[in-house]
Amino acid sequence: MLQEFKKIIREEEDFVIIDAKGIYYRELNELINELILNGSKKFRILNVNGQRFIADGLRGGYYIEIYGTAGDDLGGFANGPTIVIHGDIQDGAGNTMNEGKIIVHGSGTDIIGHSMRGGKIFVKGEVGYRVGIHMKEYKEQIPVIVVGATAGDFLGEYMAGGRIIILGLEKRPEVEDIVGDWIGTGIHGGAIYIRGVITKDKLGYSANIKEIDENDRKIIEKNVREFCSYFGLDADEILKSKFTKIAPISRNPFAAMYSDSRENK
């Protein structure tokens, strides 16, 4: 594999540079895995054009820069790497991610952070539908998604844990609100923080608007400051804004549907 693609690989300082133009996604991922087995730890991948599954299942403190548009399931099941995308990401980035960071200088599409159980995703631009669906947390392992612009419908659907922060710093004229409808449908853990005022008619079943306490403020500040450090933004200015917290009505919102209602009073 290395010999076959020798012409599109070079080294620059401590980076391995890969020109991904025209390379099928399976071959690209096999090449990256072979380079890792040979001791490479830092990658700069150029001309990425929708290749899927980059860095899936990667374990350890690897550093990957991607230039272009990364395809579906970027960093799926990742456990430790830092992935920086100078461009956009497609569906399912961070799927079941366990640890590490995905930092996106562009925008994302749907189901970003599907079933995340750890790590952080930062998207400077907008994201699509069902972002953060089925996020979960365990003990000290708390996944985080921060979005700089807007998010579509069903944000945080069936969340069992984690934190989602939507900042609404940029909004296309045709987008009415910074977040779509049915926010937190089926949520039973974690919290969603949205910059600005959100009314209850935007919420899905089992979600409710809660008061922001000091712990919430610390969570917002910590993650907004980290977000701004990656994209050269003014955290102090953003943190002056009011945030709305959306959290579960209860930890078992569907109990009455599956058992005698007398047991759930």
Q: Could you tell me if residue 123 is inside a domain?
A: yes
pLDDT per position as a tens digit, 140-156 = 899 999 999 999 999 99
- pLDDT, position 143: 98
Q: Could you tell me if residue 58 is inside a domain?
A: no
Of 14, 255, 16, the C-alpha closest to 5 is 16
Q: Could you tell me if residue 84 is inside a domain?
A: no
Mean pLDDT, residues 123-134: 98
CATH number of domain containing 154: 2.160.20.60
pLDDT at 2 over 80: no
Q: Could you tell me if residue 85 is inside a domain?
A: no
Number of domains in the chain: 1
Tell me whether residue 126 is exposed, middle or buried, using C-beta atoms within 10 angstroms of its C-beta: 0 to 12, 13 to 18, 19 or more: buried
Identity (one letter) of the amino acid at 50?
G
Q: Could you tell me if residue 220 is inside a domain?
A: yes
pLDDT per position as a tens digit, 24-56 = 999 999 999 999 999 999 999 999 999 999 999
Q: Could you tell me if residue 65 is inside a domain?
A: no
pLDDT per position as a tens digit, 156-210 = 999 999 999 999 998 888 888 999 999 999 999 999 999 999 999 999 999 999 9
